[in-house]
Amino acid sequence: MRDSRFVFALLLGVLTVLALLSHPAHADEEIRPRPAAPLSPGFRFTEATGEELFASACQGCHMPDGKGAIGAGTYPSLAQDSNLESGGYPVYVVVRGQRAMPPIGAMMTDAQVAAVVNYVRTHFGNQYQDAVSADDVKRVRPERYPR
Ligand code: HEC
């Protein structure tokens, strides 16, 4: 008598566990498509001024005094650089990259690229006062880069 009660209780327990495991809500979750994970926006510079942007994005290669360096690579001097006379050239190099110079402007907004280019063109012995604008930057962006 005591034995059959025990077997009954045991069966009841096993059935309860099985019922819980196969609960329809549980099965639903497996089938329902998960919401698409948002794409990573990637790294973006947060600095706003040309000076800050130069410090965080450029001086690692071009050096704090803008004079560049020769060692593991050749990083040209931006000091007294007549190549900066036309603002479109540094805008293009920063946005698109050029040989060993990475397209670092891809991680900046148009306004940030303009700010850092204007900073370089008016510091380190450069005195090009005709500032470039965010629109000048927008014009050289390849389509695949987010703005
Ligand atoms: C990873 C290193 C690196 C970083 C970071 C970098 N540059 Fe350069 N940059 C270079 C190299 C290398 C060149 C030479 C490219 C070539 O061979 O034409 C260059 C060239 C340039 C030129 C052309 C100079 C000339 O006289 O023709 C400009 C302008 C320039 N960089 C500006 C910048 C600015 C502004 C930043 C920051 C927003 C920056 N660079 C960040 C490596 C770097």
The end-to-end CA distance of the chain, in Å, is 79
> pTM score, two decimals?
0.79
Dihedral, CA atoms, 116, 117, 121, 122, nearest 10 degrees?
-30
Whole-angstrom distance, CA of residue 85 vs CA of residue 81: 8
Domain count of the chain? Answer: 1
In a domain, 120, yes or no: yes
In a domain, 71, yes or no: yes
pLDDT of residue 2: 60
pLDDT, one tens digit for every residue, the chain (147 residues): 567 765 656 555 655 555 545 555 555 556 666 667 778 889 999 999 999 999 999 999 999 999 999 998 999 999 999 999 999 999 999 999 999 999 999 999 999 999 999 999 999 999 999 999 999 999 999 875 555
In a domain, 34, yes or no: no
pLDDT of residue 144: 59
- Nearest atom in ligand 1 to the alpha carbon of residue 105 is 38
In a domain, 13, yes or no: no
Residue with CA nearest ligand 1 atom 6: 58
In a domain, 42, yes or no: no
pLDDT of residue 39: 80
Domain CATH number, residue 128: 1.10.760.10
Instruction: State in Å: Cα 82 to ligand 1 middle.
Output: 14
pLDDT of residue 19: 54
Residue with CA nearest ligand 1 atom 10: 101
Tell me the residue type at 87.
G
Tell me the residue range of the domain where 123 lies: 50-140
Rg (CA), the chain: 30
pLDDT of residue 143: 77
In a domain, 66, yes or no: yes
**Beta carbon of 76 within 6 Å of any ligand 1 atom:** yes
In a domain, 38, yes or no: no
pLDDT of residue 31: 66
Tell me the residue type at 144.
R
